Amino acid sequence: MIEDPYLWSKRLKKDYNYHFTSYQKQANLFYKNQGRLPMQVAGLLPLSSYSDNWKTKYRNLVKIKTNMVNGEYTFSTLREHGSYVKCLKIVNGSLYSGSIDSNISIWNIGNQEQQTILKGHKSSVNCLKTGYGHLFSGSSDKAIRLWNIQTKKSQRVFHGHEGIVTCLKIDNGMLYSGSSDNTIRIWDIETQQQLTVLKGHTCRIECLKLINGLLFSGAQDRTIGCWDIERGKEICWLKHDNWVTCMKVAHGKLFSGSAWENTKVKIWDIKKGLITHLPTEDDWGITDLKKMGNNIISSSGTGSIKIWDANTEQCLLTLNGHTRRVNNLQIAYGKIISTSDDTTIRIWDSLKSQSMVTLRENTEKTTCLKVRHGRILTGHATGSICEWDFRDSVLQDESPSLLL
């Protein structure tokens, strides 16, 4: 076990639900077969460093998790945007932040220095996605921009939407965009051409989800659309209690919620076509949904967080601690991280109803949340970005690529 890279990769998957790239999976396959595969597969990764990388990665994750449990971290604030930060994205050790000031700032998360500012949008940057060596940004100027991550230059502007671009998804070489023009557009990333326009919603698109060749779209018209991606046609519609603002898939079911009053988490069994709902109703809506192993995590406008068994649809635990609306959830290092209008960030153990650690350094409203590379990063309405770093001095010199 000590020097077997394949066993270390199995522990990463089992203990931290680590997601391997296709490149890493092929290298794992080589080691699983003890070098009996063709040499070109072995050549995918420097063999001399492979074992140390997985071993080091696992040790780093253990240390970060321990620091989170013990509340050991350093706090700092980045401030550059002139106003409201709407979205955050972490790529190759760099933090990308989009704001209503129309700019995308790029930060080196190692030394907290601003690297550059991407300019081109004429209005608020609402969403960021990465894939195929590119950064995609959706804006209130009705455009989607494609940026080269290496050169930091805009390579293409996707025009077509007649309203604000509200959400983006990337899958299988395709870019999917939702808009306030009530449409979803599908773009080919390689050719950079629009393929299809999906029409049927009567209000703004709020969120998109992809699974097994199907596209699900949640909108302000209180419906979820189910679309056949290959044919570019609608399949059916699911009625909701209010605006659909979040969706998550688990156990072949689509869980959906609305951040508005008096709504339930609705469940759509995709194979059976059955529609049910979780046995709860929140007076102030469902603000976010996340998948954690076999469970679904939901947050609410009242400040509570619930853990549900995705298979039985029963509530396993209610997490109480926030005193106001929970805005964002993230799952990382086997923990639940939440932000709230009470200005605190809480770190939860999924087996305990009380938070392990409460972060109180920030006093501003949190607008977005990212957790990666041993850090919790938050964007705020004032334009600032806060960082809680849970690495220690031993880990400071490690490459960001070795951290989840």
Q: Is pLDDT of 51 > 60?
A: no
The predicted-structure confidence for 163-206, as pLDDT tens digits, reads as follows 999 999 999 999 999 999 999 999 999 898 999 999 999 999 99
Which has the higher per-residue pLDDT, 230 or 398? 230
Q: Is pLDDT of 262 > 50?
A: yes
Going by pLDDT thresholds of 50, 70 and 90, the confidence category of residue 396 is very low
- Across all residues in the chain, what is the average pLDDT? 87
User: What pLDDT sits at residue 351?
Assistant: 82
Q: Is pLDDT of 400 > 70?
A: no
User: What pLDDT sits at residue 394?
Assistant: 43
> Which CATH code of 3.40.50.12280, 1.20.1440.20, 2.130.10.10, 1.10.3720.10 fits the domain covering 74-402?
2.130.10.10
- For the chain, residues classed under CATH 2.130.10.10 are 74-402
Going by pLDDT thresholds of 50, 70 and 90, the confidence category of residue 41 is very low
Going by pLDDT thresholds of 50, 70 and 90, the confidence category of residue 274 is confident
The predicted-structure confidence for 195-207, as pLDDT tens digits, reads as follows 999 999 999 999 9
Q: Is pLDDT of 34 > 50?
A: yes
Contacts 24+ apart (CB under 8 A), 357-364: 357/68, 357/69, 357/71, 358/321, 359/73, 359/75, 359/388, 361/75, 361/386, 361/388, 362/386
Give mean pLDDT, residues 219-231.
95
Range with the poorest average pLDDT among 324-333, 339-348, 351-360: 351-360
Dist CA 162 CA 214 (whole Å): 24
Q: Is pLDDT of 323 > 90?
A: yes
Q: Is pLDDT of 392 > 90?
A: no
The predicted-structure confidence for 108-143, as pLDDT tens digits, reads as follows 887 888 889 999 999 999 999 998 889 999 999 999
What is 151-217 written as a DSSP string? TTEEEEEE---SS-EEEEEEETTEEEEEETTS-EEEEETTTTEEEEEE---SS-EEEEEEETTEEEE
Going by pLDDT thresholds of 50, 70 and 90, the confidence category of residue 23 is low
